[in-house]
Structure formats: C-alpha cells, structure tokens
Amino acid sequence: MAQFYIGVGREARRCYGFDEIALVPGAITVNPNEVDTSWQIGGRSYRVPILAAAMDGVVDVRFAIAMGKLSGLAVLNLEGVQTRYKNPDDVLRRIAAATPEKATELVQSIYLEPIKEDLIARRIEEIKKANVPAIVSAIPQRAVRFGEIAQEARADIFVVQSTVTTVKHISKEYKALDFYQFCKKKMKIPVIIGNCVTYKVAIELFHTGCSGLLVGIGPGAACTTRGVLGIGVPQVTATIDCAAARDAYKKKTGRHIPIITDGGMSRGGDICKAFACGADAVMVGSAFARAKEAPGRGYHWGMATPHANLPRGTRIKVGINGSLEEILYGPARLDDGSQNLMGALQTSMGNVGAANIKEMHKTEIIIAPSIQTEGKVFQAAQRVGMGK
C-alpha cells in the first residue's frame, strides 16, 4: 500500500472506509436464493452471519430470544442494566426519556449500581430456556469470574471485549488477563476476543486459542472513541488487514479463526462490503437498535457511555423502523438499506458471483469515493433514498 509523507520524515498509510469503496459485479452471477451465507465458530455452523452487538439499547433477554428464533446471534452485555437491576425496563425507560443534555450524566449514574452475580446466571438461563444460543460479553478485568459463571449457566459463547485489546497489556494497578490461560484452560466454550484493527495484534490474539476476533475501534454509530481519543482505523482497511492475518495464521497452523467486523455498518451495502473485505461475520448495533423488539425504545448508546471519568460514547436517537424480522429478512418497506439485511447480502453475493462467504472474500474492490453521490442529485435534494 502506498505510503505518504505528512511531514518531514513522518510517513502515514492511506486507509479506507466503507463509503470510499465499491464492489465490482462478477463475470458469473448466482441465484441469490441459492447462495450459502453460513459461517462457523467453535465447531458449530450458523446460517445468519450477522450478530447483534452487546449494547444495552440493542440486546436484552427478549431480544436475544427473538434473534435466536430467527437463526441469528445476539450478545448480552453482562455489565449493563440487565445484570445491575432485577427490573431493568424502568431504567431503560428513563434513559429513553432523558433530554440530550442530561442523557450521558443519567447513564453514568444508572451504571453506578453494582453488578449482581446472581442476575448473570439468571439472564443466561432465561435465554437458554427458549432453546436458543446464549452469547454474553464482559471486559477483560471481569472475564475470569464472569466467564466461570457463564459457563456454569450453560452459555454457548463468551465474548471478552474492550475498546482496544492486546495480548501484552502492562499495568501495575491490576493484574492483566492472561488470554492464553483463559482461552485454552479456563474456558470450555468458544471465546471471542476484541477489539483490534491491525495485522500484528490479530496474529498475536489468534495464538491465544480464541475462537473468534472482533475487528473495529470507534466506528459505531453511538461511539465517540475516535473523537475523544483520536484512535481508530477505517473498517475497510482494518478488516482486510485482520483477514490477511487470519489467512496467514491458518496457513501456518491449519486453524481457521473467523474475524467479525464490528461497527460502522448501518445499511445492507456496508455489510456486503465488510464480507468482500474478508469478514466471516459482522456485528451490528444501530441497525438492530431500530427494531420494535430492541430495549432502547428507539435510542442507542455506546458501551463506554457510562464511563465515570471519560465517556467514549453517546446516546443517539435512531427511531423505530420495523420489526426485527423485517430488519433481518424483510420484506423491506424502506428504500435506504436498513431493512432485509440478509436479502441484501444474498443479492450482493449473487451479483458478484459468490456462492458462499469464502468466495465473497475474492470480490473485486475498487476505490470509488463518488459511489454514494454519483447521479443522486435528486435524492440528495429531496432527502430520500441515498440522500437522507
């Protein structure tokens, strides 16, 4: 990739986001109804490669069950309101009713309530009673204890997630999580680790024995990490780099560890581009926050919004645009790509000639910064379709 000088002796790499690229149609096309969208993690195959993010405005027990019954996966945040309050609905209602000026302060105060370990097991058991997969998430500092509880409660997958995750974490204040010990010895269920955006870190995380890797720092609709901390890599480049690490690791070890592009995708087109860049699956927040079943009541907030000293997320109004089934499978009633995400993926795969996700990775990609605006003068002027 080309290097550019941004000052005397200081080089910088040009990186790309979803709005700057486009996918080239294939020389062969495939019937969208006949493509295989399935992916595998921990030895199990799942038909829907789209996960709902572990955010309190997106996933609660009811949403996780609804998603599971539609063959999807939803990740429950074990450090959110679901494990701090026996009856979280009242709390969620207060967050939705807050003014924009008071929302962050209110969320901070609400998350001061201690996490109750008995609620961790209870929420997982409630999901499992519906005969759907239970996937839960915690930060590295709480992973050992919460992972133990989750395993005993028969969770299917455990996610260890923080803003930036590395194998080599230096701290005198607390003991850093030993990912090797955690993934290979403590946990008997698949562990997904995140988040990272670079080739080198991805390779190091793969060696821990994890079953999946989350890719993305700061692209989420409700995340303010890039503005607060100034860090992040656009999702196209981040996904391609981590996919290259996955392929190199597989060539060396024979083990395929799926990468999951996390954040920055609000429409079907973004999701399709993520798969073309090498993703095995994607994790989406804001698109699902708009579902009638979502606990946020049309609002969505970042995972780091409650941070007491340095919030790196905000509450945004996304509205409610349909049922979870409409958002995932259609029929779409809107023309902006926010509904029928699976239909969009299947149709895109068919048009580029990809019979499965692995073939989707081979799609020709072009740099096309005008792809969002070319010929869309009337849409932009009338604020419809792609001009919204």
Per residue of the chain (388 residues), what is the pLDDT tens digit?
567 888 998 999 999 999 999 999 999 999 999 999 999 999 999 999 999 999 999 999 999 999 999 999 999 999 999 999 999 999 999 999 999 888 888 888 998 999 999 999 999 999 999 999 999 999 999 999 999 999 999 999 999 999 899 998 988 888 899 999 999 999 999 999 989 999 999 999 999 999 999 999 988 777 778 888 888 899 999 999 999 999 999 999 999 999 999 999 989 999 999 999 999 999 999 999 999 999 999 999 877 666 777 767 788 899 999 999 999 999 988 888 999 999 999 999 999 999 999 999 999 999 998 888 778 776 877 887 777 7
Output the DSSP codes for 250-269. Answer: HHHHS----EEEES---SHH
Specify if 112 maps to a domain. yes
Measured between alpha carbons, how far is 79 from 118 in angstroms, rounded to an integer? 13
Specify if 160 maps to a domain. yes
pTM of the model: 0.94
Specify if 6 maps to a domain. no
Active-site entry in 183, 196, 210, 223: 223
Q: Are strands 73-77 and 299-301 parallel, antiparallel or unpaired?
A: unpaired
- Say whether 223 is catalytic: yes
Domains of the chain: total: 1
Specify if 11 maps to a domain. no
Measured between alpha carbons, how far is 359 from 23 in angstroms, rounded to an integer? 13
Active-site entry in 208, 225, 261, 314: 225
Q: Are residues 295 and 57 in contact, defined by beta-carbon separation less than 8 angstroms?
A: yes
Structural tokens at position 180: 């090797």
Please report, for the chain, how many H helices and E strands are present, in that order: 16, 16
Domain of 310? 17-387
Domain at 233, CATH number? 3.20.20.70
Measured between alpha carbons, how far is 81 from 77 in angstroms, rounded to an integer? 8
Specify if 69 maps to a domain. yes
Q: Which residues contact 101 (CB under 8 A, 6 or more apart)?
A: none
Neighbours of 122 (CB within 10 A): 16
Measured between alpha carbons, how far is 357 from 289 in angstroms, rounded to an integer? 25
**CA angle in degrees (0–180, nearest 5) for 62-72-322:** 65
